[in-house]
């Protein structure tokens, strides 16, 4: 019998069952980013931020990694696991910030400041990573920048994360790039102030990809993994979540006694929302959208990632 809208819940449950069966049959692991749709979060073997996903990809014993997130995340899984098949359910799921730098531009800038250490945010292409000394995520950017011997640091491509690091690391000169996350910069100071007025007893948590004037209003600044930890350990009951709304599903599930609000109804990453259970099942069943990285770029990009993982995890 064909499905109608009324049957959607049943259809979603059947898809989940199908994915679990396929996953077992094919020896696959499902890694899911914190911004994904609720149904996709529900089928995760591992749910986390960019750093945790990279680590989970590295630790996985499965033959196939299906990465529910955006392109650069699946690319990282492939860079770290060249022998494994890495699938991205929807190949169009990109990251606009990662496209705001080209290798040619980066090479030209490096020539102008040859003494600078180059730190690249993981929201970047494999080619950009290959041209950088070390990668970082929002969870370890300050630690990574501090670990470099260089006095000057070129931080690419996310300007707001670079400016936040600059505010925290006073003994280095941080040179930022022009990239921004269109989702995080869309949230205005006015919206954040309005939310704080509406929920006066709530704490504002903000992702460092937000604009500096928004960050100034926050009780806590950190990536999605940092927010999960902060909330778990906090005695506060109400929070305004200054990042993509997908995280709120996980926060509600893990903290049923706490309340979460988004400062804006447009805090949504369209690329992250492209992945649905239907696409996960389709990609897993047919082995579609396999990630490939040219070997010379992969090897160089891996060095930048390995260095980051060593700084963070000590191995």
Pairing mode of beta strands 238-242, 259-261: parallel
Under the binding rule (CB under 6 A), the answer on residue 138 touching ligand 13P is yes
Q: Which of 29, 30, 31, 34 binds ligand 13P (CB under 6 A)?
A: 34
Round to whole Å and give the CA distance between 191 and 250.
Answer: 23
Q: Does residue number 221 form part of the binding site for ligand 13P (CB under 6 A)?
A: no
Nearer to ligand 13P, 191 or 209 (CB): 209
Give residue for tokens 């963070």.
Answer: 312
**Core vs surface per residue 224-250: b (16+ CB within 10 A) or e:** bbbbbebbeeeeeeebbbbbbbbbbbb
Three-state secondary structure call for residue 127: helix
* Residues contacting residue 226 through CB under 8 Å, at least 6 positions apart: 49, 138, 139, 220
- The residue within the footprint of ligand 13P, chosen from 29, 49, 124, 312 (CB under 6 A), is 49
Contact with ligand 13P (CB under 6 A) among 60, 124, 125, 224: 224
Count residues binding ligand 13P (CB under 6 A): 10
Q: Is the dihedral of CA 243, 247, 252, 258 positive or negative?
A: negative
Residue 98 touching ligand 13P (CB under 6 A)? no
One of 50, 203, 245, 304 touching ligand 13P (CB under 6 A): 50
By CB under 6 A, the residues from 12 to 31 that bind ligand 13P are none
Restricting to residues 169-188, name those near ligand 13P by CB under 6 A.
Answer: 181
Q: Does 123 bind ligand 13P (CB under 6 A)?
A: yes
Give the interface with ligand 13P as residue ranges (CB under 6 A). 34, 49-50, 123, 137-138, 181, 209, 223-224
């Amino acid at each position: 019998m064909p499905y109608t809208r009324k049957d959607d819940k049943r259809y979603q449950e059947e898809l989940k069952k199908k994915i679990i069966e396929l996953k077992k049959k094919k020896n696959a692991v499902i890694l899911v980013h914190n911004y994904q749709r609720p149904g996709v979060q529900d089928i995760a073997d591992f749910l986390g931020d960019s750093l945790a996903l990279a680590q989970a990809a590295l630790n996985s014993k499965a033959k196939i990694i299906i990465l529910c997130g955006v392109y650069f995340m699946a690319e990282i899984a492939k860079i770290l696991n060249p022998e494994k098949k890495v699938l991205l359910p929807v190949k169009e799921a990109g990251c606009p910030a990662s496209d705001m730098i080209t290798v040619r531009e980066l090479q030209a800038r490096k020539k102008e400041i040859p003494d600078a250490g180059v730190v690249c945010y993981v929201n970047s292409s494999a080619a950009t990573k290959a041209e950088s000394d070390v990668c970082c995520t929002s969870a370890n950017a300050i630690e990574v920048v501090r670990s470099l011997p260089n006095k000057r640091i070129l931080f690419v491509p996310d300007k707001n994360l670079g400016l936040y690091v600059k505010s925290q690391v006073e003994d280095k000169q941080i040179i930022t790039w022009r990239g921004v996350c269109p989702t995080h910069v869309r949230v205005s100071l006015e919206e954040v102030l309005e939310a704080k007025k509406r929920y006066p007893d709530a704490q504002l948590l903000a992702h460092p990809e937000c604009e500096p004037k928004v960050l100034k209003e926050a009780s806590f600044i950190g990536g999605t993994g940092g927010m999960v930890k902060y909330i778990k350990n906090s005695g506060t009951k109400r929070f305004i979540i200054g990042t993509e709304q997908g995280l709120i599903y996980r926060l509600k599930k893990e903290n049923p006694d706490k309340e979460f609000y988004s400062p804006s109804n447009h805090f949504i990453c369209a690329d992250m929302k492209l992945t649905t259970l239907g696409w996960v099942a389709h990609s897993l069943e047919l082995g579609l959208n396999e990630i490939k990285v040219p070997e010379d770029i992969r090897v160089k990009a891996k060095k930048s990632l390995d260095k980051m993982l060593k700084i963070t995890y000590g191995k």
